[in-house]
Amino acid sequence: MEGVRGRPGSDGGTAMGLRERKKRETRRNLHRAAVRLVLEHGLDAVTVDDIAAAADVSSRTFFNYYASKDDALVGDGPLGPSEEGRAVFTSGGPTGDPVDDLKAYLMTFVGDDPEEHRTAMRDLYQRKRLVQQEPSLMPRVMARFAETEQRVAADIAARLGDGDAEGTRAQLGALLATTLMRFTMHRLKESGHGPDDPAPEPEDFREDLERVMDETFQAFREFFVLPAERA
């Protein structure tokens, strides 16, 4: 789960043994096979056996990696902040302003590596297509958000001092965080692209993300502030 601090390997995070690498590859293969087959033939027409076969493992092995077909489809995408991001946020930084810091914290969900950004963007679009084609996947996707929400709630509680992740303020913050995140992702998917462009392949995903996130925060402020003043 961690300890990627090995010697500066060739690429991103290749500092683990053969065993670990193979596992990651198998997991990735299963995920990709699942997505490809389902997009191609539909969810019901694809069995776990098919996916396992396409990934060159036994169907039993499939379940060593994913608990269900849906799980394999939704995959593992980033559902939490980086370790540093977490540390900075829980210790009250970087600015001290709750909303600004929350924004910074959310930004660390996607790392700094440009390659990682391209992957994230592709995954975003792919999941969108997948859910559009197979609405029955919605539950699993939403469950991911719920998980994220609980992590965020815990971090906010840590920042507030009280460890009470169930507390009202922590829940409010977490709810806001995931809501803002969802809306940001929605706008990101809509902004400036045709209905079903395969993948925009932006050069500056992180910049886009930050800009859209700012706009999102602004939109929320307007939604709440303007009507309040109008009243």
Partner DNA sequence: CGCATTTTTGCAGAGACTGCAAGATGGAAG
Partner DNA sequence: CTTCCATCTTGCAGTCTCTGCAAAAATGCG
Q: Which residues bind DNA (CB under 7 A)?
A: 17-20, 22-23, 26, 46-49, 56-61, 63-65, 67-70
CA atoms of 13 and 187, how far apart (whole Å): 31
The piece of 33-41, 53-61, 172-180, 196-204 that touches a second copy (CB under 8 A) is: 172-180
Q: Count CB atoms within 10 A of the CB of residue 88.
A: 18
Concatenating the DSSP letter of every residue in 149-192 gives HHHHHHHHHHHHSS--TTSHHHHHHHHHHHHHHHHHHHHHHHTT
If binding is defined by CB under 8 A, does position 192 make contact with a second copy?
Answer: no
Residue 98 contact, options a second copy, DNA, none, Cβ 5-8 Å cut-off depending on partner type: a second copy
Q: Is 196 in the site for a second copy (CB under 8 A)?
A: no
Calpha distance 29→137 (Å, rounded): 20
List the one residue from 25, 83, 97, 162 that touches a second copy (CB under 8 A).
Answer: 97
Q: Provide the minimum distance between the beta carbon of 176 and a second copy in the complex, in angstroms, as a whole number.
A: 6
Nearest CB to a second copy, comparing residues 52 and 156: 156
99 binds a second copy (CB under 8 A): yes
Which CB contacts under 8 angstroms, 24+ apart, belong to 31-34?
A: 31/66, 31/72, 31/73, 31/75, 31/76, 34/69, 34/72, 34/73
If one asks whether residue 225 binds a second copy (CB under 8 A), the answer comes out as: yes
Q: Is 211 in the site for a second copy (CB under 8 A)?
A: no
- 141: which 2 tokens? 């996707």
3-state helix, strand, coil in the chain (%, to 5): 70, 0, 30
Residue 3 binding: pick among a second copy, DNA, none (C-beta 5-8 Å cut-off by kind): none
Q: Is residue 87 close enough to count as binding a second copy by CB under 8 A?
A: no
The yes or no reply on residue 63 touching a second copy (CB under 8 A) is no
112 Cβ contact list (under 8 Å, min separation 6): 206
Return the structure tokens found at 140. 């699993």
Of 21-29, 57-65, 85-93, 171-179, the segment contacting a second copy by CB under 8 A is 171-179
Report the partner that residue 25 touches, choosing among DNA, a second copy, none (CB closer than 5 to 8 A by kind): none
* Partner from DNA, a second copy, none binding residue 140, C-beta < 5-8 Å depending on class: a second copy
The closest of 211, 2, 191, 203 to 107, measured between CA atoms, is 211
Binding-site ranges for a second copy (CB under 8 A)? 97-100, 138-140, 142-143, 145-146, 166, 168, 171-173, 175-176, 179, 182-183, 186-187, 190, 217, 219-221, 223-225, 227-228, 230-231
